[in-house]
Amino acid sequence: MGGRRKLIFSGMRLEVNLISSGDNQLSLNYNHFIAGLIYRVISLHSERFARRIHSGGFKLNGKVFKMFTFSKIFYFNGAHVEDSHIVIPSNSEISFLISSPYEEFVKDFAFGLTKADKIWISEQKNLYILKSVEVIFEPKIFDGDPKEVIEVEGVFISPLVVSKVDALGRRIFLGCFDA
């Protein structure tokens, strides 16, 4: 195939927009806190489903997948980085994207958001109010033959991990210039 890789896009994506209800700080190492927020929000709609995806995930070929991803946090209105934190003044907006191929996951997350009076990230004193949650529709990449090779250019908003199994059966993680 001449070095090109076939990409298949599926699933649902949401854009979550929050307003800071006070002067907040968020560590630059916030990924764990956002994952915790996601599980808490889903549990507001379905505790059983939140427990299932947190403790077991989805299994395929002996591996466990969480089946969701989220972007970095985008911040506006005076929010800025200071030392090892994002300083988020009162009434400032932050947003992030969350995506999953599993429709129940996205629906439970969206319904959970609507049930939350206040949303906290990292500490209960870092409170936010839901401004909006929007469905971002997947782009239509091609029509026709699913074997068609397409070339897509873009920028990832979250890290991508790619691996392959070598001739000895070992998993090899690829760098950005590996084939």
The 3-state DSSP composition of the chain as helix, strand, coil percent (nearest 5) reads 20, 30, 50
Q: How far apart are CA 111 and CA 140, in angstroms?
A: 26
pLDDT given for residue 132 in this prediction: 92
Residue 3: pLDDT over 60: no
Burial code (b: 16+ CB inside 10 Å, e: under 16) for 120-137 equals bbbeeebbbebeebeeee
Q: Between helices 31-45 and 47-55, what is the axis angle to 10°?
A: 140
* 23-27, 69-73, 99-103: segment of lowest average pLDDT: 99-103
Query: What's the Rg (C-alpha) of the chain?
Result: 19
72-107 tens-digit pLDDT: 999 988 899 999 999 999 999 999 999 887 888 888
Measured in whole angstroms, how far is the alpha carbon of residue 120 from the centre of its chain?
Answer: 17
Q: What pLDDT band is residue 4 in, cutting at 50, 70 and 90? A: very low
Which residue's entry shows tokens 């994002």?
86
Cut 0.75: pTM above it:
no
Is residue 133's pLDDT more than 80? yes
Its CATH architecture, for the domain 12-137+155-173, is 2-Layer Sandwich (3.30)
Alpha-carbon gap, residue 79 to 75, rounded angstroms: 6
